[in-house]
Amino acid sequence: MLVYIAPSIIHGKGLFAARPLRAGQLIGVYDGPVTDRDGDHVLWVENEGDDGWTGYDGINELRYMNHADSPTAEMDGLRCYALVDIKAETEITIDYGWNDS
């Protein structure tokens, strides 16, 4: 097991490293049905060729990743990779891209 869900000081529940993770390591793959509605656990992924965005309504543990301005992980499509070495018991965060234009 690489990750677990626990209370977060950032917001509600968060995703945490169950053991040390190396920078560049695959943490997991976001899973959920395609949706066109935004929601608490929807991940928006940019389509190839500047063809808009597709939403995925998360159903697995990756849906609990919270936002951070200095994230510890990043999404590449539906795959989540560690940006830095992450110590065990550390919350795994991503940048939601709220300020991207």
The top-scoring range by mean pLDDT among 35-39, 47-51, 90-94 is 90-94
Its pTM stands at 0.89
**Which run of H or of E encompasses 13?**
strand 13-17
Write down the H helix ranges in 7-48.
none
- How far CA 66 is from CA of 8, 9, 47, 80, 83, in Å, comes to 9, 10, 22, 13, 15
Can you list the domains of the chain with their CATH numbers? Answer: 3-94 (2.170.270.10)
Q: What is the pLDDT of residue 53?
A: 92
> 12 near 40, Cβ under 8 Å?
no
